[in-house]
């Protein structure tokens, strides 16, 4: 009941050094830049759904 | 010589209300959204979250409405049922709630010796008489308590005092920026949440069936509407008068959780140049390649925020690239990354020949 976000896609974004710096995700129909911060509710939900096996995070281009 | 104050109790302390935007004055995302009921989220008034349970046929409009009780607030939060749901599945729920950071509720002293009572007060009315519930939920320790209240067609202030909870004496709220405590208004619920005996006297370990027993249903008819404002949560056994707050203070508090580049009153994704940020540029220094910059937030965020970017026409995730003396091009590639609590990097990897770009964004660090 607390989190029922519909996450259609998720892909890491890398910085100029090639390190992952965030996740670009489509959540509830909107494209969002999600930080790699477990205190962020969107990132926490992405991690929860990855753990549950319902989504994966694609590598950065 | 300074004379000590002798009438401190006659003028309750500023900042006693733990609720943010209790007067329903700030609505940065939108002032009205229709067709809600299928999903949870933050839709209109800042800090006020709609939590949904299992799929319900019920639908409603949520809005900031200029119909508050005189002398308390010009505004209120209104829910208007547009599709009824009289076949209530067990897991259904409709809850209006606000979450609190652990570091903002330490004053309650909950979970240890000396814990304080909590008093919740609010102004409410509806189209008819309903019984709904107010729940306090300790997220750190999965403990809760609920009290019922009744609506009439006129504004009524309810003052509900909840028992202090020392729990096992060693379970304080975690003193950090995460969600520790929830103030929830139960407006609809299935047997999963209503099938037991209401837990109303003291905090207890959560049993879902005891959270909302005895409430009515907001979804019983499309005639139904629900209005609320002047929401206050404070320590102690007394409901003091609703704490008035200037709009700049309320907005700054809200911006810890959500801010936008758009003017107040202008919804994100609106086509407008007003308020947009720009990388800045130099005449003659133009390229079809990458342009990027780091943009600061007005208010430090609770945590690194989720960012959504828009070009000046409202397209997302896009920017508007501009070339001095030539003009601008909307719908150009854009992306945000590397957020901190204070700033975000936004770039346009390639696009029309440009010396700078313009971008709107929202930054969401809600609980």
> Would you kindly state where each structural domain of chain B is located, as residue ranges?
7-255, 277-364
Residue B325: predicted pLDDT: 83
Residue B5: predicted pLDDT: 43
The alpha carbon of B194 is separated from its chain's Cα centroid by a whole number of angstroms, namely 25
Residue B284: predicted pLDDT: 87
**Mean pLDDT within B37-50:** 97
Interface A:B, Cβ pairs < 8 A? 73
Nearest chain B residue to A6 by CA distance is B39
Residue A3: predicted pLDDT: 52
pLDDT at B1 over 70: no
pLDDT band at B13 (very low <50, low <70, confident <90, very high): confident
**Mean pLDDT within B145-151:** 98
In this predicted model, what pLDDT tens digit does every residue of B82-134 receive, in sequence order?
Answer: 999 999 999 999 999 999 999 999 999 999 999 999 999 999 999 999 999 99
Nearest chain A residue to B318 by CA distance is A31
- CATH for B7-255 is 2.60.120.260
| Higher per-residue pLDDT: B329 or B13 | B329
pLDDT band at B51 (very low <50, low <70, confident <90, very high): very high
In this predicted model, what pLDDT tens digit does every residue of B205-219 receive, in sequence order?
Answer: 999 999 999 999 999
**Taking CB atoms and an 8 Å limit, are B304 and A37 in contact across chains?**
yes
Residue B4: predicted pLDDT: 44
User: Half-sphere exposure (CA, 13 Å, Cβ side) for B65?
Assistant: 18
Q: B78 - beta bridge partners?
A: B63, B227
Residue B68: predicted pLDDT: 98
To the nearest whole angstrom, how far is the Cα of A58 from the nearest Cα of chain B? 16
Residues B222 and B98: their CA atoms lie apart, in Å, by 26
Choose the mutation target among A7, A26, A33 for the interface with B, i.e. most B CBs under 10 Å: A33
**Taking CB atoms and an 8 Å limit, are B337 and A22 in contact across chains?**
yes
Residue A2: predicted pLDDT: 52
**Mean pLDDT within A31-42:** 97
**Interface predicted TM-score (ipTM) of this complex, two decimals:** 0.96
Nearest chain B residue to A1 by CA distance is B53
| Higher per-residue pLDDT: B282 or B10 | B282
Average model confidence (pLDDT) across chain B: 96
Residues B214, B194: contact at Cβ < 8 Å?
Answer: yes
Length of chain B: 367
**Taking CB atoms and an 8 Å limit, are B305 and A40 in contact across chains?**
yes
In this predicted model, what pLDDT tens digit does every residue of B219-232 receive, in sequence order?
Answer: 999 999 999 999 99
To the nearest whole angstrom, how far is the Cα of B308 from the nearest Cα of chain A? 5
Residue A15: predicted pLDDT: 86
To the nearest whole angstrom, how far is the Cα of B238 from the nearest Cα of chain A? 31
**Taking CB atoms and an 8 Å limit, are A39 and B177 in contact across chains?**
yes
pLDDT at A46 over 50: yes
Q: B79 - beta bridge partners?
A: B62, B226
pLDDT band at B283 (very low <50, low <70, confident <90, very high): confident
Residues B334 and B330: their CA atoms lie apart, in Å, by 11
> 3-state DSSP call for residue B104?
helix
Q: What angle do CA B278, B280, B283 make, to 5 degrees?
A: 140
pLDDT at B236 over 50: yes
Chain A interface residues (partner B, CB cutoff 8 A): 1-4, 6, 13, 15, 21-22, 24, 28, 30-37, 39-43
Q: B51 touching A, CB under 8 A?
A: yes
Residues B16, B240: contact at Cβ < 8 Å?
Answer: yes
Nearest chain B residue to A31 by CA distance is B317
Query: Using CB atoms within 10 A of its CB, is residue B85 exposed (0-12), middle (13-18) or buried (19+)?
Result: buried
Residue B11: predicted pLDDT: 52
Nearest chain B residue to A14 by CA distance is B337
Report the percent of chain B where pLDDT is more than 70: 97
DSSP string covering B137-173: EETTTTEEEEEEEE--SS-EEEEEEE----TTSS-PP
Q: What angle do CA B235, B238, B242 make, to 5 degrees?
A: 85
Q: Give the DSSP H or E segment for B347.
A: strand B343-348
Q: B93 touching A, CB under 8 A?
A: yes
């Amino acid at each position: 009941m607390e989190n029922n976000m519909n996450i259609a896609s998720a892909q890491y974004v890398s910085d100029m050094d090639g390190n992952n710096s965030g996740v670009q995700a489509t959540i509830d129909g909107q494209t969002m830049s999600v930080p790699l911060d477990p205190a962020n509710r969107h990132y926490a939900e992405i991690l929860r759904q990855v753990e549950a096996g319902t989504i994966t995070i694609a590598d950065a281009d | 010589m300074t004379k000590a104050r002798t009438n401190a109790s006659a003028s309750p302390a500023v900042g006693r209300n733990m609720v943010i935007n209790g007067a329903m004055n700030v609505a940065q995302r939108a002032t009205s959204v229709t067709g809600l009921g299928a999903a949870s989220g933050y839709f209109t008034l800042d800090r006020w979250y709609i939590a949904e349970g299992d799929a319900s046929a019920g639908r409603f409009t949520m809005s900031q409405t200029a119909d508050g009780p005189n002398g308390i607030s010009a505004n209120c939060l209104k829910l208007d049922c547009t599709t009824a749901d009289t076949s209530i599945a067990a897991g259904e729920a409709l809850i209006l709630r606000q979450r609190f950071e652990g570091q903002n509720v330490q004053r309650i002293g909950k979970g240890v010796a000396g814990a304080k009572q909590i008093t919740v007060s609010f102004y409410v009315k509806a189209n008819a008489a309903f019984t709904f519930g107010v729940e306090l939920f300790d997220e750190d320790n999965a403990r809760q308590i609920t009290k019922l209240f009744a609506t009439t067609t006129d504004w009524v202030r309810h003052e509900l005092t909840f028992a202090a909870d020392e729990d096992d004496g060693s379970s304080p709220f975690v003193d950090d920026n995460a969600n520790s405590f929830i103030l929830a208004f139960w407006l609809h619920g299935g047997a999963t949440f209503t099938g037991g005996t209401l837990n109303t006297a003291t905090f207890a370990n959560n049993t879902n069936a005891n959270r909302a027993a005895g409430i009515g249903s907001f979804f019983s008819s499309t005639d139904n509407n629900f209005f609320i404002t002047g929401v206050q949560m404070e320590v102690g056994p007394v409901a003091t008068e609703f704490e008035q707050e200037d709009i700049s203070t309320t907005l700054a508090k809200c911006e810890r959780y959500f801010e936008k580049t758009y003017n107040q009153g202008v919804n994100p994704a609106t086509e407008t140049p007003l308020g947009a940020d720009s990388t800045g540029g130099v005449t003659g220094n133009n390229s079809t390649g990458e342009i990027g910059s780091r943009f600061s937030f007005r208010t430090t965020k609770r945590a690194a925020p989720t960012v959504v970017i828009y070009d000046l026409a409202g397209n997302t995730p896009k920017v508007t690239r501009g070339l001095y003396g030539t003009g601008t091009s909307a719908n150009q590639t854009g992306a945000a990354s590397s957020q901190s609590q204070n700033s975000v990097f936004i770039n346009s990897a390639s696009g029309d020949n440009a010396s700078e770009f313009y971008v709107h964004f929202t930054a969401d660090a809600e609980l």
